[in-house]
């Protein structure tokens, strides 16, 4: 295990300058993600353009892994259909939890592949993704809360 | 700190010798010597404890209070001997007052359900303080839901201190219980428990002290404190997990109904009714954690064989040293600056989230706790989501604290 493999430059950069960070009004879905283990909390808001994610922004507080993961996620899924975004969710989920998973086709999200070696940190990276999946599966629910527990 | 105190601590307490008593301290973590600074979460065990448990498991195990055979008698004697050591350690009036439980959490729940539930009425008040561990909040919230009682919370100040007058100000004719920590796990604050108990007693208020963080760091005399209940865990006192103690004043325990029913807590059972056993067995239903109790007894014997005054001076010197070197780090803020503190430092580093810090420190072999420390209201008070906490035992060294400071600096560089 190498610390630099967890904290890659892409991660450090997105932690320092998170993209798509801040409120979004109005929003078609707003879901709060909460990791009770560490207190990380983020709110994800998105606007749908038909079936596509027209706009997506997040805010909240979390560690570098959690912040960078959310920032990278918003860049990756903006403009995608709901089904396409859920495919990315599945792929990232495999990347974070399965040894055999590869990062092929994930672009910058491949930077998250170092997290798998740090089991205590997987939930940090996956919090925003579970929050996104909840928002996409039931965008009619104005404010839901998902928890990693 | 002045140098006289530092050198006094260094020369009068032999840390190197004490460290040899704790096998785990020889370990490497990620190729670096382990610096175990997470004693507030759980302390390590000396060989004396490991060997006492091992000897029991290999030679003396049987169920207690049941058999006439040799092993059962030996196991019973070892278990009850451990109780006697606890009695002496906390200066309880008798062995009827020391109940073995799983830990502090279970002890507090026992009091809530056995003392509180039959007694409290709607509108009665339970008084706690702002800096409590969740284990001294949630059992009372459950009790309030069950009885209609009301939970009142005494404030703390920006240092993390709780003042007797602000607790007293919340005592009313309806206050039935004061439950508070002896030492805050998240901040290190030592509470003025004698004064708090005296204030409560003069108003007829029952008192419970959560001593989980206190017993490893200071002499605890329950009769000097004057409390009705005192709870602590073995594993923070260098003993195994799954064993802890509820001390209760005999007169109160006598009046309380059993908490759990089962074997060992009875004298006579028929389908028409049951006669309960006497204290302390009334509260020890089922086969207890025999090896854990024996381990706790061994830990107490080990501690009483140490230079405890020297150990406490050393711990205090560690706290002073940590406070000084950590304060020098730019954008590091110590959370909890009470004037009377146990040996732990909670802190946040502006540019580095506690969880990232925890991972980076671990890479250097340094174990600290990161998170909300089961004290979310305290985190909210200081407007931080989490902190990192270095908590010391007498086997820690100044060098380990210097390594901590250096690793924090590296983390700052990484996230700059």
10-residue stretch averages of pLDDT, chain B, 416 residues long: 49 90 98 98 98 98 91 97 98 98 98 98 98 97 98 98 98 98 98 98 98 98 98 98 98 95 87 90 96 98 96 97 97 97 97 93 96 90 93 98 97 92
Residues of A in contact with B360 (CB under 8 A): 3
Give the helix ranges, DSSP H, for B91-154.
Answer: 104-110, 117-119, 138-147
Dihedrals phi, psi of A102, to nearest 5 degrees: -115, 165
Residue A21 sits in a domain whose CATH number is 3.90.1010.10
Place of tokens 């901040």: B187
CA dist., res. B14 & res. B323, Å (int): 22
Cross-sheet strand order for the sheet of B332-335? B332-335, B344-349, B387-391, B369-371
**Other beta carbons less than 10 A from residue B278's beta carbon:** 10
CA dist., res. B225 & res. B323, Å (int): 29
pLDDT of residue A134: 92
pLDDT of residue B4: 47
Tell me how long chain A is.
Answer: 149
Contact A38 B370 (CB under 8 A): yes
Task: Establish if B410 touches chain A: CB-CB under 8 angstroms.
Answer: no
Dihedrals phi, psi of B306, to nearest 5 degrees: -95, 165
Task: Establish if B353 touches chain A: CB-CB under 8 angstroms.
Answer: yes
For B72, the 3-state DSSP assignment is helix
**Other beta carbons less than 10 A from residue B241's beta carbon:** 15
ipTM of the complex: 0.88
pTM: 0.92
The domain in which residue A131 lies consists of 3-147
A64: nearest CB among B363, B372, B415: B415
> How close B386 comes to chain A (CA, Å)?
7
- Choose the catalytic residue: B144, B180, B227, B374: B374
CA dist., res. B180 & res. B193, Å (int): 8
CA dist., res. A30 & res. B233, Å (int): 43
- How many domains does the structure of chain A reveal? 1
Largest Cα–Cα distance in chain B? 73
Q: Which residue of A has its CA nearest to B371?
A: A38
Q: Which residue of A has its CA nearest to B363?
A: A3
Taking only the tens place, the pLDDT of each residue in A45-54 is 999 999 999 9
Domain range list for chain B: 3-33+307-415, 50-304
pLDDT of residue B11: 57
Query: Does the active-site annotation cover B374?
Result: yes
Contact A121 B360 (CB under 8 A): no
Q: How far is CA A129 from the centre of its chain?
A: 4
pLDDT of residue A144: 60
pLDDT of residue A139: 57
More confident residue, A141 or B200: B200
At the topology level, CATH places domain B3-33+307-415 in: 3.90.1150
CA dist., res. B208 & res. B194, Å (int): 12
| Cβ neighbours of residue B325 closer than 8 Å, sequence gap 6 or more | B401, B402, B405
Contact B415 A3 (CB under 8 A): no
Task: Establish if B368 touches chain A: CB-CB under 8 angstroms.
Answer: no
Task: Establish if B385 touches chain A: CB-CB under 8 angstroms.
Answer: yes
pLDDT of residue B1: 45
B385: nearest CB among A7, A16, A39: A39
Residue pair B392/B352 in contact (Cβ under 8 Å)? The answer is no
Contact A65 B415 (CB under 8 A): no
pLDDT of residue B9: 47
Taking only the tens place, the pLDDT of each residue in A92-135 is 999 999 988 888 889 999 999 999 999 989 999 999 999 999 99
Q: Which CATH number fits domain B50-304: 3.40.640.10, 3.30.470.20, 2.10.50.10, 1.10.579.10?
A: 3.40.640.10
pLDDT of residue A149: 54
What crossing angle do the helices spanning A82-97 and A122-137 adopt, rounded to 10°? Answer: 160
The arithmetic mean of pLDDT across residues A133-140, rounded, is: 81
pLDDT of residue A107: 93
Please name every residue paired with A53 in a beta bridge, in sequence order, or none if there are none: A48
Place of tokens 């279970």: B106
Contact A15 B415 (CB under 8 A): yes
Q: Which residue of B has its CA nearest to A15?
A: B415
What DSSP string runs through A125-143?
A: HHHHHHHHHHHHH-TT-SE
């Amino acid at each position: 295990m190498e610390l630099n493999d967890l904290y890659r430059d892409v991660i450090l950069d997105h932690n320092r300058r998170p993209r798509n960070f801040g409120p979004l009004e109005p929003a078609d879905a707003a879901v709060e993600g909460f990791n009770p283990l560490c207190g990380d909390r983020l709110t994800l808001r998105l606007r749908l353009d038909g079936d596509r994610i027209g706009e997506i922004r997040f805010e909240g507080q979390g560690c570098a892994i959690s912040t960078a993961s959310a920032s990278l996620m918003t860049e990756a899924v903006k403009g995608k259909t709901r089904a396409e975004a859920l495919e990315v969710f599945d792929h990232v989920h495999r990347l974070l939890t399965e040894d055999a998973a590869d990062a092929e086709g994930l672009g910058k999200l491949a930077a998250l592949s170092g997290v798998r070696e740090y089991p205590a940190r997987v939930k940090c990276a996956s919090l925003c993704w579970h929050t996104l999946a909840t928002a996409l599966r039931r965008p009619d629910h104005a404010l839901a809360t998902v928890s990693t527990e | 700190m002045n140098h006289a105190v530092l050198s006094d601590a260094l020369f009068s307490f032999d840390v190197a010798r004490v460290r040899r008593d704790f096998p785990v301290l020889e370990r490497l973590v990620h190729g670096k010597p382990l610096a175990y600074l997470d004693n507030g979460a759980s302390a390590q065990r000396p060989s004396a404890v490991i060997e006492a448990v091992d000897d029991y498991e290999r030679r003396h195990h049987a169920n207690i209070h049941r058999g006439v055979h040799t092993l059962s008698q030996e196991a019973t004697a070892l278990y009850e001997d451990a109780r006697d050591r606890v009695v002496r350690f906390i200066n309880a009036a008798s062995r009827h007052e020391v109940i073995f439980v799983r830990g502090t959490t279970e002890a507090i729940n026992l009091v809530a359900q056995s003392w509180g539930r039959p007694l409290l009425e709607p509108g009665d008040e339970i008084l706690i303080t702002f800096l409590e561990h969740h284990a001294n909040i949630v059992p009372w919230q459950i009790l309030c839901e069950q009885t209609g009682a009301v939970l009142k919370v005494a404030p703390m100040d920006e240092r993390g201190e709780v003042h007797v007058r602000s607790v007293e100000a919340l005592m009313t004719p309806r206050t039935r219980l004061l439950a508070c920590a002896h030492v805050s796990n998240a901040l290190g604050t030592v509470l003025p428990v004698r004064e708090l108990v005296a204030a409560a007693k003069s108003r007829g208020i029952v008192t419970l002290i959560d001593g989980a963080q206190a017993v490893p760091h200071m002499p605890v005399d329950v009769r000097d404190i004057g409390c009705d209940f005192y709870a602590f865990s073995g594993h923070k006192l260098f003993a195994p997990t799954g064993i802890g103690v509820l001390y209760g004043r005999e007169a109160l325990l006598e009046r309380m109904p059993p908490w759990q029913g089962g074997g060992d807590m009875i004298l006579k059972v028929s389908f028409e009714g049951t006669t309960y056993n006497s204290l302390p067995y009334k509260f020890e239903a089922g086969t207890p954690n025999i090896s854990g109790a024996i381990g706790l007894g061994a830990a107490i014997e080990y501690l009483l064989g140490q230079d405890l005054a020297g150990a406490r001076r050393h711990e205090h010197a560690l706290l002073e040293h940590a406070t000084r070197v950590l304060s020098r780090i730019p954008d590091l803020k110590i959370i909890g600056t009470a004037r009377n503190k146990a040996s732990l430092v909670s802190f946040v580093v502006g540019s580095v989230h506690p969880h990232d810090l925890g991972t980076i420190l671990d890479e250097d072999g340094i174990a600290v706790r990161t998170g909300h420390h089961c004290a979310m209201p305290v985190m909210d008070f200081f407007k931080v989501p989490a902190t990192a906490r270095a908590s010391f035992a007498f086997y820690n060294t100044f060098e380990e604290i210097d390594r901590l400071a250096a690793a924090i600096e590296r983390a700052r560089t990484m996230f700059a």
